[in-house]
């Protein structure tokens, strides 16, 4: 019979291999992960800044509209204080009436008081009105069904949704 010889291949010792932290792919992946994290943080800050800018824009648009309306009404100064029964907000006076009237009668009642149903010009103003949960009130927006469009009682179109 023939003789069988076995040969055993020896693998290099652990110390002969490169440690995994020296692998260029590991460094690249770590650098990419940190870069993506930094981009997410920057994007979050930019998004918040844009939201703040939109909020400020709404405030400015509301103030411009109020000033234009004051000029149209020949009211040279819109800086007069509100009567005691009205609530001031951003230079306008609001009366939350307790009268329960249909929309057209409420509009007429306001006109007799030298006022109008509220025309909401900004999200800030909408938020202010939404805080008055104890009140149910009419606003000056109406839908013209023949044209299927909404307009404020002064004829202007809504400026925001």
Q: Structural domains in the chain?
A: 23-152 (3.10.100.10)
Q: Are 122 and 62 in contact (CB under 8 A)?
A: yes
The pLDDT value given to residue 47:
77
Q: What do you get for the CA distance between the two ends of the chain, in Å?
A: 96
Residues of the chain predicted below pLDDT 50? 76-77
The pLDDT value given to residue 102:
92
Round to whole Å and give the CA distance between 160 and 92.
19
Round to whole Å and give the CA distance between 128 and 132.
7
The pLDDT value given to residue 105:
92
> pLDDT tens-digit profile of 98-123?
778 998 999 998 888 888 899 888 88
Determine the 3-state secondary structure of 87 from DSSP. strand
Q: Which two tokens stand for residue 106?
A: 């409420």
Q: Which two tokens stand for residue 147?
A: 């044209």
Q: Which two tokens stand for residue 92?
A: 């306008």
Max CA-CA distance within the chain? 125
The pLDDT value given to residue 8:
52
The pLDDT value given to residue 130:
82
CB burial readout 148-160, b (16+ within 10 A) else e: eeeebbeeeeeee
Determine the 3-state secondary structure of 15 from DSSP. helix
The pLDDT value given to residue 72:
63
Round to whole Å and give the CA distance between 54 and 61.
10
Determine the 3-state secondary structure of 47 from DSSP. helix
Round to whole Å and give the CA distance between 59 and 65.
10
- Answer whether 0.75 is exceeded by the pTM: no
């Amino acid at each position: 019979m023939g003789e069988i010889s076995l040969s055993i291949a020896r693998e290099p010792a652990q110390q002969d291999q490169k440690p995994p932290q020296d692998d260029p792919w590991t460094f690249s992946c770590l650098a990419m992960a940190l870069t993506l994290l930094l981009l997410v943080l920057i994007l979050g800050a930019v998004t918040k800044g844009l939201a703040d800018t939109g909020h400020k824009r709404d405030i400015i648009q509301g103030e411009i509209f109020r000033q234009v309306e004051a000029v149209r009404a020949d009211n040279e100064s819109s800086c007069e204080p509100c009567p005691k029964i009205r609530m001031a907000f951003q230079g306008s006076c609001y009366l939350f009436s307790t009268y329960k009237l249909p929309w057209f009668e409420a509009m007429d009642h306001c006109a007799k008081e030298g006022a109008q149903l509220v025309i909401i010009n900004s999200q800030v103003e909408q938020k202010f009105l939404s805080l008055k949960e104890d009140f149910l009130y009419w606003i000056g927006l109406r839908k013209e069904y023949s044209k299927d469009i909404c307009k404020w009682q002064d004829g202007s179109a809504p400026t925001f949704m």
